[in-house]
Amino acid sequence: MSNSFSSSTPDVQSDFLVLGSGVAGLMVALRLAERGTVSLVTKRAIMDSNTSQAQGGIASVFGRVDSFELHVEDTLKAGDGLCNREVADLVVRNGPDRIRELIDLGVKFNLDQNAADHTTLDLGREGGHSQKRIVHAQDMTGLELETVLVGHVRAHSRITVFENHMGVDLITCSTRMKRGMVTTTHDDRCIGAYVLDTDTSRVKTFSAAITVLATGGAGKVYLYTSNPDVATGDGMAMGYRAGATVANMEFVQFHPTCLYHPDAKNFLISEAVRGEGAILVNAQGRRFMEAYDPQCELACRDVVARAIDTELKKSGADSVFLDISHKSEEVIRSRFPNLYQRCLSFGIDMTTDPIPVVPAAHYMCGGVATDMSGRTDIHQLYAIGETACTGLHGANRLASNSLIEALVYARTAAEGAISEFDQIDMTTMPTPVAWDEVGTVDADEQIMVVHNWDEIRRCMWNYVGIVRSNKRLARAKRRIANIQAEIQEYYWDFKITPDLIELRNITMVAELIVRCATHRKESRGLHYTLEYPNRDDRRWGRDTLIRRPFLG
């Protein structure tokens, strides 16, 4: 491969570069550090991640009557015909070892108080699981994990953490244009990334033999989401722009009940509230789930989310309501102490008032396509965690299967990356081309960024949400194309800012979701289209794969 471009000394050089500090990034960094030096880059504070928000727990087989086969079957059933059985097998069978590893690192999971040995894990059960298998740390599992792993990462002498550093684009051997634009070639190699230091507003060049994308999900592409602000699909967009294959972006999981309140950005009302007998009523106070499913409020997530969406679209109301006020105050306060307090902090007393809720984008099943070692189709580039599409989730994710996927893939990817690293002749590693800002000036039209942020998220919510149609998808495609044209113009003329980078990425991810959704002419798992309401295995029983055209 020719390297005929001007190069410069990188700002930061290490053996491995990891983008993202959720469970996937932290865990892979710890493993890679056993072999070499690691730069761990994260765009805000190290704890800012989806991982820190995970409440439920981690699915893994520990129960006496449970088995790997049952966990695999539950995973495949949820995935509605699109899971890769081999991948499900890999994740499920490696699950218990990864949990034991976490315990050895100091993670404190809830133990079964009734067991004699005081080491038996307390296992919860969630929708779609045929057995109790959710390992958890109260209702703050992700926070416990993140806190313990961050402690280990910070203490490791071979890991350097760069907070407030945002990955902008990957650098490959074919990066040779202004601002790192990649002229995609096939058989490319990743040699690092351009990273914006958000404290100094300077773009730095990070060079590494192996780069791992672990930048999490993309909930912020939608107006309503359970995800924190960092979830803007950066890794998916960066991977795609660099020429990696992206898969199954049409499968976006919506959680049915997120609190609807101007001050509550992303607060989930747990499924357990419906489990305890709460009913859903519309703006007129009428219960509506009976009309949609015989299980009413206890129907599965997608059915409830779709029903709420239909009610909202029919009435034009802003939200529906979840009402548990018929239960005694004592029961509500003792069963949901945190929820009760959080709702109260927003002026909602759930013992007397119905809680306003909307469905919200929760989890991306699609992402950068990888093999069973987390390898993408660009050499020296790996993707793990929510950013990746490994084949585990298929068309719908089984609850609590994402943390375990991230843990298992952090290990297999580290093994793959170390073995690839050991084969690289470092004397042939090209020096990355320098970031070029010639001709750009400070941004003076921040309003364009703010306006387009809002427009893209509203457009995705209204036209590419829970229920899709040909007309809505076509409308979204046109709007997104207009916004992209504006962003392109702005991107080349002005110095980049974090908001602009994220806007560019959510718009890119929106485009990928629309393209995948338009392509799949059936309804399956999380993808529901009015014109094609049935599953069609013969024509569509396969992944949706998209890759940037060869631009060489």
Ligand X SMILES: Cc1cc2nc3c(=O)[nH]c(=O)nc-3n(C[C@H](O)[C@H](O)[C@H](O)COP(=O)(O)OP(=O)(O)OC[C@H]3O[C@@H](n4cnc5c(N)ncnc54)[C@H](O)[C@@H]3O)c2cc1C
Please identify every residue annotated as catalytic: 301
Instruction: By CB under 6 A, name the one of 29, 30, 57, 256 that touches ligand X.
Output: 57
- Kindly tell me which of 149 and 483 has the beta carbon lying closer to ligand X: 149
Instruction: By CB under 6 A, name the one of 251, 288, 363, 409 that touches ligand X.
Output: 363
Q: Site residues for ligand X, window 149-168 (CB under 6 A)?
A: 166-167
- Kindly tell me which of 81 and 127 has the beta carbon lying closer to ligand X: 127
Q: Phi then psi for 164, rounded to 5 degrees? A: 55, 35
Separation of alpha carbons 339 and 330, rounded Å: 14
Q: Does 60 bind ligand X (CB under 6 A)?
A: no
User: Which of these ranges, 40-48, 204-212, 432-440, 457-465, lies near ligand X under the rule CB under 6 A?
Assistant: 40-48
CB of 45 to ligand X, least distance (A): 8
- Kindly tell me which of 234 and 377 has the beta carbon lying closer to ligand X: 234
CB of 37 to ligand X, least distance (A): 18
**Three-state SS at 471:** helix
Separation of alpha carbons 376 and 388, rounded Å: 9
* Contact call for residues 322 and 354 (beta carbons, < 8 A): yes
CB of 142 to ligand X, least distance (A): 5
Which x/- pattern over 123-142 shows residues binding ligand X (rule: CB under 6 A)? Answer: ------------------xx
* Among 36, 8, 50, CA closest to 405: 50
- Kindly tell me which of 296 and 510 has the beta carbon lying closer to ligand X: 510
* Among 474, 476, 512, 522, CA closest to 249: 512
**Three-state SS at 322:** strand
- Kindly tell me which of 226 and 523 has the beta carbon lying closer to ligand X: 226
Long-range contacts of 306-309 (CB under 8 A, 24+ apart): 306/466, 306/467, 306/528, 307/280, 308/256, 308/257, 308/280, 308/357, 308/358, 308/359, 309/254, 309/359, 309/465, 309/466, 309/467
User: Which of these ranges, 10-18, 51-59, 245-253, 532-540, lies near ligand X under the rule CB under 6 A?
Assistant: 51-59
Instruction: By CB under 6 A, name the one of 17, 18, 40, 54 that touches ligand X.
Output: 54
Separation of alpha carbons 462 and 125, rounded Å: 33
Instruction: Write out 256-320 in H/E/C secondary structure.
Output: EEEECECCECCCECCHHHHHCCCEEECCCCCECHHHCCCCHHHCCHHHHHHHHHHHHHHHCCCCE
Q: How many CA atoms lie within 13 A of 169 on its CB side?
A: 28
Q: Does 400 bind ligand X (CB under 6 A)?
A: yes
Q: Does 394 bind ligand X (CB under 6 A)?
A: no
User: Which of these ranges, 48-56, 151-159, 425-433, 512-520, lies near ligand X under the rule CB under 6 A?
Assistant: 48-56
The set of residues, in sequence order, having a beta carbon less than 8 Å from that of 339 and lying 6+ positions away, is 269, 270, 273, 350
User: Which of these ranges, 21-29, 147-155, 300-308, 315-323, lies near ligand X under the rule CB under 6 A?
Assistant: 21-29
* Contact call for residues 10 and 134 (beta carbons, < 8 A): no
User: Which of these ranges, 44-52, 178-186, 277-285, 464-472, lies near ligand X under the rule CB under 6 A?
Assistant: 44-52
Separation of alpha carbons 442 and 493, rounded Å: 9
- Kindly tell me which of 258 and 429 has the beta carbon lying closer to ligand X: 258
CB of 182 to ligand X, least distance (A): 16
Q: Does 230 bind ligand X (CB under 6 A)?
A: yes
Dihedral angle sign, alpha carbons of residues 370, 374, 375, 376:
positive
Q: Site residues for ligand X, window 200-219 (CB under 6 A)?
A: 214-217
Which x/- pattern over 401-430 shows residues binding ligand X (rule: CB under 6 A)? Answer: xxx--x------------------------
Instruction: By CB under 6 A, name the one of 207, 227, 431, 518 that touches ligand X.
Output: 227
Instruction: By CB under 6 A, name the one of 14, 49, 373, 396 that touches ligand X.
Output: 49
CB-count exposure of residue 489 (10 Å: 0-12, 13-18, 19+): exposed
Strand order in the sheet with 123-124: 58-59, 134-135, 123-124
* Contact call for residues 72 and 92 (beta carbons, < 8 A): yes
* Among 356, 127, 359, 398, CA closest to 254: 359
- Kindly tell me which of 45 and 115 has the beta carbon lying closer to ligand X: 45
Q: Does 144 bind ligand X (CB under 6 A)?
A: no
- Kindly tell me which of 216 and 239 has the beta carbon lying closer to ligand X: 216
- Kindly tell me which of 161 and 173 has the beta carbon lying closer to ligand X: 161
Dihedral angle sign, alpha carbons of residues 122, 124, 129, 131:
positive
User: Which of these ranges, 13-21, 108-116, 302-310, 347-355, lies near ligand X under the rule CB under 6 A?
Assistant: 13-21
How many residues bind ligand X (CB under 6 A)? The answer is 44
User: Which of these ranges, 41-49, 200-208, 435-443, 538-546, lies near ligand X under the rule CB under 6 A?
Assistant: 41-49
* Contact call for residues 220 and 363 (beta carbons, < 8 A): no
Q: Does 245 bind ligand X (CB under 6 A)?
A: no
Helices (H) and strands (E) in the chain, counts: 14, 18
* Among 239, 251, 172, CA closest to 525: 251
- Kindly tell me which of 476 and 526 has the beta carbon lying closer to ligand X: 526
CB of 176 to ligand X, least distance (A): 22
* Among 440, 529, 415, CA closest to 491: 440
Q: Does 55 bind ligand X (CB under 6 A)?
A: yes
Residues that bind ligand X (CB under 6 A): 19-25, 41-44, 48-51, 53-58, 141-142, 166-167, 214-217, 226-227, 230-231, 234, 268, 363, 385-387, 400-403, 406
